[in-house]
Structure 1
Amino acid sequence: MRRSLLALLLALLTGLAGLTAADAAPTSGWTARAEDHPGSVTETDVEVPMSDGTVLRADVRRPADSEGNPVEGRFPVLLTITAYNKSAIDGPGAAAIGSDPGFFVKRGYVHVTVDARGTGSSGGDWQAFSARENTDSGEIVNWAASPERPWSNGSVGMHGASYMGISQLFAAGNRPPGLKAIFPQVPAVDTYRDVVASGGALDVGFIPLWLGLVTGTGLIPPAYGPAEPDNALQMYLDRVQGATSFTAPTLLEATLGLNAAFDGPFYAERSPASVLDRIDVPTFLVGGEYDLFQRGTPMVFDNLQQRGVPVKMIFGPWDHLQGSGDGVAEAGYGTLQDLQLRWFDHHVRGQADPSLDTDIPPLTYHEIGSGQWFEADQWIGEQRARRFQLSGTSMPGLPGGLVDSDPRPGRSTVAPLPISGLCTRSTNQWTAGTPNAIGIAQLCHDNRWNDLSGAVFETGPMSEAMRMRGPINAHLHASTPTGNGMLSVSVSSVAPDGTVDRLTGGWQVLSHRSLDESRSRYLDGELIQPFHPFTEDAQRTMEPGEVEPVDVEVFPTAAVIPPGHKLRISVQAFDVPHLLPTVRDLPAALSPVAIHNSPEHPSEITLPVIPATEGNR
């Protein structure tokens, strides 16, 4: 009963139903090797002591013979650290780490799954990627690699999605000597900008669900037997304390617009960006174009590659749940498990694989709009910045223009409609793909109806395909009678029949418009990825009615506007149920925002466009 409850709760976040894609044949002659052992055997709730005296708990799955006895000997270790209660990993919960641990164990690995501090059966208080938890991740690797483990040969790899992917980055940042390679799926780089408060507004779609899931699984009594009633009671009391000392206060602070609503040390401590420069192990990343961490995963790839770390990334047409499953097969390199096995066999097991780098390029990505897969050496490399200027005035049903030159002046009003975003791809994305998992997301794939709730600007039909890859900047001149509000920008492709395919989006609270040019990204001298401090000190309310420039970071994508289609941007004042203003900002957000475009106040969008010479596979 207990495990059934765990699996049900975990399914809400990890989409256990319907995630496995049809197997895709690899593009090379490589095939996964056969099993070495007929079975596996698991020892549950093994003690993993931390340096501060806290005891974490692990399930250790080892190769077994045909009679179910553990095979003697030392093996390489694959490790997952989860906050979603390791007990759910048995059975259908295996999809939470994107693969069945038994697949690897039967091929000569020991698989270890550890409950993060304060979750599942582990001791301590959960503080979501606190400095202590991130120290734990390195100590867990050291524990698994230690010669004191009679089943370990000292060589460790890590895998898993989302929370488990982020834990890998923190573990690698500790540089434990036994860690040889990692395989993070859909990890973040900057928890504040990626998901908690995109553009400075609060994520109310995913974050409460996620915090509730971790807290809820923790409140289920741990699996200790009758011999440990005191431990079981203490675990339960720790979970209750964690819910009241971390989860509830954090949500309340953010909602009221207090400390947790602003970027600062709290989020820096919990962001892999703080340790990226210390990661030096081979890393294979999986990201999604509709994922929660659509922004962050490519930034991890960029950082590691620029520092010379062996790194690869597959960036596919997936939301968070799909990127956590076996949709990777669509890229053409075999199933996710096959790809992980190949990575770990080479980097953890030490098996020669001379064709690995020629078979799999640094970057493989899907192109929205064509469905084609492309290969590239870099995330940002051959692209060129292309600007389109807003032209004229957007009226309901009558879009303004997007032009290369000679824009017409205009002033467009964006009404504060708290239903904007409700039936769009954004809803599916920022509820982690739950609508897609239950089969209703397709009802909201056409963005044309949502676009009626804001200002719309579009080009004429394209005479030739325009391809793009990377982040986008919308530079908009805005004014508002209250001095604050939010801009929600969607970038879309409009088909000849009027269907609007939302490619990506970005958000910006007006009072958080301060720009840190030193941390922003430029292409050909043009801003394509603005960096806003989002601190309380940097917040600047606009003078009512005064026109100010606002740079909106539109999250990266890989897409094409085909011939005959139009490029469109639409601007709304809300993106529900994704984002809401804090209680402090809500009154000011309930007023219209004006978008200006004139010689004195030009508004434009800058795209990283790929030259026409690049080909697909």
Structure 2
Amino acid sequence: MRRSLLALLLALLTGLTGLTAADAAPTSGWTARAEDHPGSVSETDVEVPMSDGTVLRADVRRPADAEGDPVEGRFPVLLTITAYNKSVISGPGAAAIDGDPDFFVKRGYVHVTVDARGTGSSGGDWQAFSARENADSGEIVNWAASPDRPWSNGAVGMHGASYMGISQLFAAGNRPPGLKAIFPQVPAVDTYRDVVASGGALDVGFIPLWMGLVTGTGLIPPAYGPAEPDNALQMYLDRVQGATSFTAPTLLEATLGLNAAFDGPFYAERSPASVLDRIDVPTFLVGGEYDLFQRGTPMVFDSLRQRGVPVKMIFGPWDHLQGSGDGVAEAGHGTLQELQLRWFDHHVRGQADPSLDTDIPPLTYHEIGSGQWFEADQWIGEQRARSFQLSGTSLPGLPGGLVDSDPQPGQSTVAPLPVSGLCTRSTNQWTAGMPNAIGIAQLCHDNRWNDLSGAVFDTEPMTEAMRMRGPINAHLHASTPTGNGMLSVSVSSVAPDGAVNRLTGGWQVLSHRALDESRSRYLDGELIQPFHPFTKDAQRTMEPSEVEPIDVEVFPTAAVIPPGHKLRISVQAFDVPHLLPTVRDLPAALSPVAIHNSPEHPSEITLPVIPATEGTR
């Protein structure tokens, strides 16, 4: 029962649900091949020694005959590295998590699941995505590909969502020769900016739950415990040490505004961005428009695509839970496991698939606002920059304007209300989709009430559809009596009846406003994705009441403002329960922020707008 409950919690927090091939069929003529073997057989807690002497543990599932005996011979290997305890994600009550590995095993693959260092049944201390753990990922691939494994033919593919997706990127960055392809679902690119401290404020909705989940699942007794009591005792001691030397200090440091609250070597080491230029294996990505890694997954795709790596991405209307499997069939290319089978059959098994690239384009994405699916070659390509200037003054219930030209001067006050964001799509997104999973997220889909807690600016109703895809920049001139605070920016579509559909959001702590232009992204010479250092050295409070420009990175989306609808930007000072200031910054955050728009201090929003040339699926 305990493992079943943990499995349910794991599914809610990390979105590791999968679909079987029976749930949907691809729109192309391709169909999943039949099973080669009637069954499977598992070996639990197999030792996987690392170069530093630490022993990790793996569960190995092999094809079996009708009598349940392992089929002789060597097979391609599919590998998953997890921090959530392999006995939980494959145990009773968790059959839906990450799909059924027998789908692949019965079709001639060996399936290997390994507990990451310091988690589950593996030895060592957990230091999430440390250099040592990232080196482990390459060594694990080498172990699975080794001729010493009598069941391996030396060709390895990797799959899995979230943590397991990030592990794939680090494994590919090690360039182990046996790794032939990966299939990361909802992975990050930059752990600090994507999720830990978006805009420089602390994620208090997901990160504490996630770190507690890894620590908690590590305390489940391993299968080898009764047979190896000394090893089991050492594992428990390692877990306690990991909690006291990594989890608790990291959370405390960040909360107090110490080193862990700032970007730097600690987060760079733990960000796949550091290895993207070393990844050269075929990569299939799944991302979500309401996912925790809404920002990062498209950036992985973009980077690999620009370098010529064979890469595809499906980007759908999903939160973290949904984007890990549930909705993938909506894209029209088949279910998650069908797609994985097709990808791995071609790139790992070596089975020719001449129609793979014609059936599945590089990018398949959903458009919020129309529900349509579109295809494209690049994430950022044919778009043009379009800017709207803030005009006039926003008062409660009376929005200011967004105009193409001739803005009216104004000054709008954003009150520091610590309930802003509490009932919005942001709440569901930054708790990994838990409200949606239990059926209450729909209560907060209309953002109109939350918008009353800040400054709001609308366009006139659109006369023709305005489509966008990619990141957005909100360039706002602001001042505050305390010299610090946070801007929480939402970009929305306002229906004729007044309903507000939040498309995406962005956040920026004022003292972290320093801009690194060399790492920022521009379109038609206009800034669409600012890059802020977020380092301790770059932090600088504003002079009280001095007006300064603040560029807010609004996370990427794919959306349309239909005819008759208005584009809206709303600005609040909090986004609860997603982000909170550090203890050090909290006093200064409890003061109003003024948004200025005038010839001396213009404020505007710049979007990557798509010309009306692309067709739907």
Q: TM-score, normalised by structure 1?
A: 0.98
**Structure 2, unaligned runs of 5 or more:** none
Pairwise CA distance, 1:100: 1.1
Q: Is the 8 A contact 1:202 1:261 kept in 2?
A: yes
* C-alpha distance in structure 1 between counterparts of 2:461 and 2:19, whole Å: 36
Show the counterpart of 1:144.
144
Q: Is the 8 A contact 1:484 1:589 kept in 2?
A: yes
Pairwise CA distance, 1:326: 2.9
* C-alpha distance in structure 2 between counterparts of 1:344 and 1:18, whole Å: 17
Pairwise CA distance, 1:10: 1.7
Question: Per the alignment, do residues 194 and 21 of structure 1 end up closer, same or farther by CA in structure 2, a change over 3 Å counting?
Answer: farther
* C-alpha distance in structure 2 between counterparts of 1:269 and 1:253, whole Å: 18
Q: Is the 8 A contact 1:97 1:164 kept in 2?
A: no
Show the counterpart of 1:548.
548
* C-alpha distance in structure 1 between counterparts of 2:371 and 2:103, whole Å: 30
Show the counterpart of 1:191.
191
Pairwise CA distance, 1:8: 3.7
State the Cα deviation string for residues 488-544 of structure 1 (Å, max 9, x = none): 000000000100000000000000000000000000000000000000000010000
State the Cα deviation string for residues 227-257 of structure 1 (Å, max 9, x = none): 2111111101110110011000000000000
Q: Secondary structure at the match of 2:125?
A: coil
> How many matched pairs?
617
Pairwise CA distance, 1:276: 0.3
Pairwise CA distance, 1:223: 2.1
Q: Is the 8 A contact 2:415 2:453 kept in 1?
A: yes
Q: Is the 8 A contact 2:118 2:126 kept in 1?
A: yes
State the Cα deviation string for residues 263-316 of structure 1 (Å, max 9, x = none): 000000000000000000000000000000000000000110111100000000
State the Cα deviation string for residues 64-112 of structure 1 (Å, max 9, x = none): 0111100000000000000000002325676776321110000000000
Pairwise CA distance, 1:26: 1.3
Question: Per the alignment, do residues 495 and 162 of structure 1 end up closer, same or farther by CA in structure 2, a change over 3 Å counting?
Answer: same
The root-mean-square deviation of aligned C-alpha atoms, in Å, is 1.4
Q: Secondary structure at the match of 2:147?
A: coil
Question: Per the alignment, do residues 291 and 143 of structure 1 end up closer, same or farther by CA in structure 2, a change over 3 Å counting?
Answer: same
* C-alpha distance in structure 2 between counterparts of 1:542 and 1:95, whole Å: 53
State the Cα deviation string for residues 391-424 of structure 1 (Å, max 9, x = none): 0000000000000000000000000000000000
Q: Is the 8 A contact 1:435 1:441 kept in 2?
A: yes
Pairwise CA distance, 1:19: 8.0
Pairwise CA distance, 1:224: 1.7
Question: Per the alignment, do residues 60 and 2 of structure 1 end up closer, same or farther by CA in structure 2, a change over 3 Å counting?
Answer: farther
Pairwise CA distance, 1:614: 1.6
Pairwise CA distance, 1:222: 2.0
Query: 160-169 or 325-334, which moves further after superposition?
Result: 325-334
Pairwise CA distance, 1:220: 2.0
Question: Per the alignment, do residues 278 and 579 of structure 1 end up closer, same or farther by CA in structure 2, a change over 3 Å counting?
Answer: same
Q: Percent identity?
A: 95
State the Cα deviation string for residues 445-472 of structure 1 (Å, max 9, x = none): 0000000000000001000000000000
* C-alpha distance in structure 2 between counterparts of 1:92 and 1:369, whole Å: 40
* C-alpha distance in structure 1 between counterparts of 2:462 and 2:8, whole Å: 47
Show the counterpart of 1:277.
277
* C-alpha distance in structure 2 between counterparts of 1:133 and 1:396, whole Å: 51
Q: Is the 8 A contact 2:19 2:336 kept in 1?
A: no
Q: Is the 8 A contact 2:21 2:337 kept in 1?
A: no
Q: Is the 8 A contact 2:473 2:552 kept in 1?
A: yes
State the Cα deviation string for residues 131-151 of structure 1 (Å, max 9, x = none): 000000000000000000000
Q: Is the 8 A contact 2:255 2:261 kept in 1?
A: yes
Pairwise CA distance, 1:55: 0.0
Q: Secondary structure at the match of 2:167?
A: helix
Pairwise CA distance, 1:13: 1.4
* C-alpha distance in structure 2 between counterparts of 1:432 and 1:225, whole Å: 33
Q: TM-score, normalised by structure 2?
A: 0.98
Pairwise CA distance, 1:3: 3.2
**Structure 1, unaligned runs of 5 or more:** none
Q: Is the 8 A contact 1:159 1:182 kept in 2?
A: yes
Pairwise CA distance, 1:21: 11
Question: Per the alignment, do residues 18 and 303 of structure 1 end up closer, same or farther by CA in structure 2, a change over 3 Å counting?
Answer: closer
* C-alpha distance in structure 2 between counterparts of 1:518 and 1:90, whole Å: 45
* C-alpha distance in structure 1 between counterparts of 2:468 and 2:251, whole Å: 37
Pairwise CA distance, 1:5: 4.6
Q: Is the 8 A contact 1:219 1:240 kept in 2?
A: no
Q: Secondary structure at the match of 2:22?
A: coil
Question: Per the alignment, do residues 22 and 406 of structure 1 end up closer, same or farther by CA in structure 2, a change over 3 Å counting?
Answer: farther
Pairwise CA distance, 1:23: 3.1
Show the counterpart of 2:455.
455
Q: Secondary structure at the match of 1:13?
A: helix
* C-alpha distance in structure 1 between counterparts of 2:94 and 2:414, whole Å: 46
Q: Is the 8 A contact 2:16 2:98 kept in 1?
A: no
* C-alpha distance in structure 1 between counterparts of 2:58 and 2:17, whole Å: 26
Pairwise CA distance, 1:11: 3.1
Question: Per the alignment, do residues 357 and 122 of structure 1 end up closer, same or farther by CA in structure 2, a change over 3 Å counting?
Answer: same
- 2:538 matches 1:538: yes
Q: Secondary structure at the match of 1:488?
A: strand
Q: Secondary structure at the match of 1:7?
A: helix
Q: Is the 8 A contact 1:16 1:93 kept in 2?
A: no
Query: 359-368 or 220-229, which moves further after superposition?
Result: 220-229
Pairwise CA distance, 1:17: 7.8
Q: Is the 8 A contact 1:116 1:133 kept in 2?
A: yes
Pairwise CA distance, 1:571: 0.0
State the Cα deviation string for residues 371-404 of structure 1 (Å, max 9, x = none): 0000000000000000000000000000000000
Matches within 5 A, 1:143-542: 143-542=143-542
Q: Secondary structure at the match of 1:439?
A: coil
Q: Secondary structure at the match of 1:533?
A: coil
Pairwise CA distance, 1:613: 1.7
Q: Is the 8 A contact 2:17 2:96 kept in 1?
A: no
Question: Per the alignment, do residues 225 and 238 of structure 1 end up closer, same or farther by CA in structure 2, a change over 3 Å counting?
Answer: closer
Show the counterpart of 1:579.
579
Q: Is the 8 A contact 2:201 2:509 kept in 1?
A: yes
Pairwise CA distance, 1:370: 0.1
